[in-house]
Structure 1
């Protein structure tokens, strides 16, 4: 698995624990051992903003929000994301290997449901911040399935069946 260029996204949320954990010396070292040379962090509305520059030998770039992260996702060889449905689907639709980190601090956490279902389907792996380091060390994405391409005809056919038109 090529981890040369890793992209981390927390969407528009506050998920400082993920950003702090992924930029810890241990996680940076684990990524570096797997070939990571660039780590791009989209930190959302959190209060923790890592400095851009070299961190333990890995080039780190951090930003809060952009109109679109599609270019960052396209450049990435590997994506680490919070479990927001939009962020997960955007990475999966681009065919990126994905590790989802569930924010266990959220009340009524739908993120675990999204992550569990997509993992059961074979599209991603998921973990929590307290298990991120061992997950990075032993992660194998070679068995992940490619997410199916969007096909509007299937959507239309499903609506037609639901409405009784076919």
Structure 2
């Protein structure tokens, strides 16, 4: 499936979001030849990167020659529409982005920003724990920038369990638990 690279392939967009942060390591990872090649082999046609405050600008590729089309932007008032039209979302470990991706029912790879790990900000550690917990529950995949291409290569989208639509309470409860708020 998706072999050959004919222009007639159905549009399958990968949407990458770093939120309002700077996460150049993720942007560089998705802009690497390795990641773009494996996405193309998996049948994806478009890569759209929301790069936030980052200083690394990914390449823009039209895709007219049948290759993967790549585009980027810094911010948007709402990324909900990008998420809804995506076939795959690759996100930083922000709980807002994770929750929105689960809510729209899209396959999600959460990429942990290890550069922030040394900050000892408990909030960041909790977001990483949340992502790993949701990965264990098979709602998403977890990766690091340097392992992203392997995660994409080996991911089995069929193995993901959908989050019950409209039932935000389990996620809210989990987020509150990690943030130390009392549970109802």
Query: How does the TM-score come out when normalised to structure 2?
Result: 0.77
Q: After superposition, give the CA deviation of every residue in 1:35-70 in whole Å (9 maximum; x if it has no partner).
A: 111000000111112243337921111000111001
Partner residue in 2 for 1:158: none
Query: How does the TM-score come out when normalised to structure 1?
Result: 0.85
Match of 2:40 among 32, 40, 45: 32
Q: Summarize the alignment of residues 50-65 of structure 1 with structure 2, pairs less than 5 Å apart.
A: 50-54=58-62, 57-65=67-75
Partner residue in 2 for 1:121: 137
| Cα distance in 2 for residues equivalent to 1:68 and 1:93 | 15
Residue 53 of structure 1 aligns to a residue whose secondary structure is coil
Query: Contact 1:83/1:115 (CA < 8 Å) preserved in 2?
Result: yes
Q: 1:112 to 1:63 in 2, by over 3 A?
A: same
| Cα distance in 2 for residues equivalent to 1:116 and 1:51 | 30
Q: 1:144 to 1:3 in 2, by over 3 A?
A: farther
Q: 1:128 to 1:3 in 2, by over 3 A?
A: farther
| Cα distance in 2 for residues equivalent to 1:132 and 1:59 | 19
Match of 1:4 among 3, 12, 19: 12
| Cα distance in 2 for residues equivalent to 1:16 and 1:3 | 26
Runs of 4+ in 1 over 4 A off after TM superposition: 151-155
Structure with the bigger percentage of strand:
1
